[in-house]
Amino acid sequence: MSLTVDHNPNVYEERMRIQKAGGNVREGRVLGVLEVSRSIGDGPYKRHGVTCVPDIKRCQLSDSDRYLMIACDGLWKSYSVDESIKFANKVLEDPTTVACGRKTATDIKFENACNKLANSAVLRLSGDNVTVIMVDIRKR
């Protein structure tokens, strides 16, 4: 289940918000440069409508929910939500992963899933930086 929508200037609501804040969108980018409309960084663009204010969505978790996947636009240029979930699940189900030092096998599986998914996105020529964070939300 996807909890957010893309935050880019091509999305009508985002474009209108940027324009209302005094910015403009050229060639699908804020001021013709920045490809995202919401970010933690990108300070110089804040006065042109880029914001760090997130969308907030509530959802009811079920016992079958395993993790949250948080990623930057570099991943989503290369993978759909469904593809990224299938990829991560395959890594998480690897029976050969074992604990190492202070890390449990589960910790290592999540770390491997993030690294492998990010590296795969780069190899698919996403043309962007790629960050993937996964949070285990299962009850223990």
DSSP string, 45-80: GGGGT-B-PPP-------TT--EEEEE-HHHHTT--
Banded pLDDT at 56 (limits 50, 70, 90):
confident
Q: Which residues contact 24 (CB under 8 A, 6 or more apart)?
A: 18, 30, 31, 48
Claim to verify: residue 76 and residue 101 sit in the same structural domain: yes
User: From residue 56, how far is each of 13, 29, 33, 53 by CA, in Å?
Assistant: 15, 23, 26, 9
Radius of gyration of the CA atoms of the chain, in A: 18
Asked if the model's pLDDT at residue 23 lies above 80, the reply is: yes
Claim to verify: residue 42 and residue 103 sit in the same structural domain: no
Claim to verify: residue 72 and residue 54 sit in the same structural domain: no
Claim to verify: residue 42 and residue 72 sit in the same structural domain: no
pLDDT of residue 28: 94
What's this model's pTM, rounded to 2 decimal places? 0.84
Claim to verify: residue 72 and residue 120 sit in the same structural domain: yes
Q: How many domains does the chain have?
A: 2
Asked if the model's pLDDT at residue 139 lies above 80, the reply is: no
Domain region containing 5: 1-58
Asked if the model's pLDDT at residue 118 lies above 90, the reply is: yes
Claim to verify: residue 73 and residue 46 sit in the same structural domain: no
pLDDT of residue 140: 66
pLDDT of residue 4: 84
Banded pLDDT at 86 (limits 50, 70, 90):
very high
pLDDT of residue 48: 96
Asked if the model's pLDDT at residue 112 lies above 70, the reply is: yes
Claim to verify: residue 78 and residue 129 sit in the same structural domain: yes
Q: Which of 61-65, 104-108, 134-138 comes out lowest in average pLDDT? A: 61-65
Claim to verify: residue 117 and residue 88 sit in the same structural domain: yes
